[in-house]
Every structure is written in C-alpha cells, then in structure tokens.
Amino acid sequence: MERSWAQLLTGLGVRFEMGWSAESFDMAGGRITGARVVDGAGNRARVDADWFIAAMPVERAVPLWSRAMLDAEPRLGLMRNLVTDWMVGIQYFLRRPVPIARGHVAYLGSPWALTSICQAQFWRGEFADRYGDGTVDDCLSVDISDWGTPGILYRRSAKECTPDEIAREVWVQIQACLNDTGEAVLRDDDLASWFLDPGVRWNAAAGRNTNDTPLFINTVGSWADRPDARTAIPNLFLAGDYVRTDIDLATMESANESARSAVAALLEAADSPAAPPARYRLHEPPELEPMRLIDAERHRAGLPHLLA
C-alpha cells in the first residue's frame, strides 16, 4: 500500500505540530537558540533545538528576522526587496478525460494569463476509481497569473470577482482558447465541480478578494537579493522558492531543490557522516538553443521578445 509523505516521515521519527505559527527567533552567541510560536488560541511556546530550517514563503520569513539576525546575516535584510504577486490555482473536476495536451498549456492572450494541466494522464490507476464518487474522470488544474486585468465575461479583474464568478470566468476564457476551431474540446457538460485555492477569500464589504498565499516573482535583478540555503548564522538554513538554486524559477521544483541544499548544508555544518541528498541542475533542451540565441540577439538590439 502506498503511504503519504506524512506517514513516511512519521515512521522515520518526525513529529508534526499542527496549528502553530512562528513569531520570532531567539539568538545568543551568534546562534539561534529557540523559535517562538503561537497557536490559534493565542497560546505561546518556545521551541528549543540545535538546528533550524526556515522552510516558508518569503513574505512569511521576512517578518521573523530580528535586528540581531540581520546584524549576523545582512543578506537576510535584502529579502525585503523581493516581490510577491498573486498566482492562484483553481481545479475543475471533469466527467470525462479532456484531450488538451500531454503537458502544460499556456493560453496566450487570455486576460487572466491562464495556464493549465490535465492531471489524470500522469497519475497511476484509474482516476474515477481512486478519487471522488466515481463520476469524475479528470482534474483540469489551472493557474490564474493576472489578477488585475478585466475578464471577458464580467469585465472585472479576478480580485474583484466572487469565487463563483472566478470559476465561471476562467472556464469561459479557457473555452474561448480551446473551442476556437469549432470543435467543442471543453464542454459545459464536462464540468462536475470546481475548487478554488482556499487562500483566496472574498470580502463582500470591500468587494475584493484577499490572498493568504502570494507567490515570489523573479523580477529583473532579484538574484542579488536572494539568499543561499546556508546563512552566516551557523545553525540557520533556508528553504523556499526564493532561495538561490540552479532552478531559477518560482516553482515546487525550485523549492524542493532549495530543501535539498538546506539539508546538505546542515549535514556539513553538523559534521554528519550521512550522505547529502542528490541535487540537480535545470535541464536546458538543446533543441531550444537556436531560439535562445535569437532572443539574446533581439535583446542586445533593443527589440521585443518574439512573443511580445
């Protein structure tokens, strides 16, 4: 029987403490001596340990850096220059497999800068047998990357739409791209249900959404403000999509690679005999090299990108 990651880690001795948030770190002698945490009821506690990995998004990590920590590791202060924006997912559960593409799809020209992937084709077993009530055969997972541009259905930005309106607007924008040849690739009858990232919350009084989970954005020059997994504080390590890795893009793959770097650095700092985790370099498809060269030439000439 397959086990979840939580079950695997618990079996290895990891203890999960749910419902607690980090508030600050304590320092003494140039090292982290403890982490201050609080639960939903306002109860506070201190967590003592020898080693600390701050594995959290950049906007959650920055408020934890104290003056003493910034003095010990000035590069942590540069993280305040990093930019976050909204990129939020919505899932559509479909009554039949939809043959869109064997991979990611970018809906060029869609007002909300949509991308998607059909998940069932990559998962083991029959989707309907393993998930839901047996009537759903696929999951169309969509990223909404532009929350400030008016849509085509309600003529409002995603930030100004209710969850129901977001679901309908995204669906219509995807249909406009997929069904433009006259063939109904994505039909209304295909839709069984949808699920919007719960980090997005509708504020009826303000007529706008809030978002608990913004995403780090690689802006021009941001590399200089991004830290490495190993910090100048000898027992503090960082993991997250903002940490410098060879996968220079805010993705789960880059976050995973940063975690590998953090573990490798911790093992080295602790003089552990354990083998470090494998680390990887981003694969650059050689067939795209001519396009990269053309793009570089256009950039040097002051010309826009070919897809701009």
Evaluated on CA atoms 267, 268, 273, 275, the torsion sign reads positive
Closest CA to 221 of 43, 117, 78: 78
70, 94: one domain: no
Specify if 256 maps to a domain.
yes
Specify if 129 maps to a domain.
yes
Type of residue at 248: D
Cβ contact 64:25 at 8 Å? yes
Residue 71: give its domain's CATH number.
3.50.50.60
199, 120: one domain: yes
Q: What is the CA radius of gyration of the chain?
A: 23
Specify if 240 maps to a domain.
yes
72, 91: one domain: no
Structural domain of residue 56, as residue ranges?
5-83+216-269
Closest CA to 61 of 82, 87, 38: 82
185, 99: one domain: yes
Query: Which residues are 129's β-sheet partners?
Result: none
75, 220: one domain: yes
Specify if 25 maps to a domain.
yes
Specify if 300 maps to a domain.
no
Specify if 226 maps to a domain.
yes
Q: How many domains does the chain have?
A: 2
Specify if 178 maps to a domain.
yes
The model's pLDDT over 170-228, given as tens digits with 9 standing for 90+, comes to: 999 999 999 988 888 899 999 999 999 999 999 999 999 999 999 999 898 999 999 99
Give me the residues of the chain with pLDDT under 50, please. Answer: 1
Measured CA to CA, the distance from residue 178 to residue 180 in angstroms comes to: 6
Specify if 303 maps to a domain.
no
Q: Where are the alpha helices (DSSP H) in 15-160?
A: 58-61, 67-72, 75-78, 127-130
106, 182: one domain: yes
Measured CA to CA, the distance from residue 203 to residue 143 in angstroms comes to: 21
207, 103: one domain: yes
Residue where a domain stops, chosen among 196, 211, 226 = 211
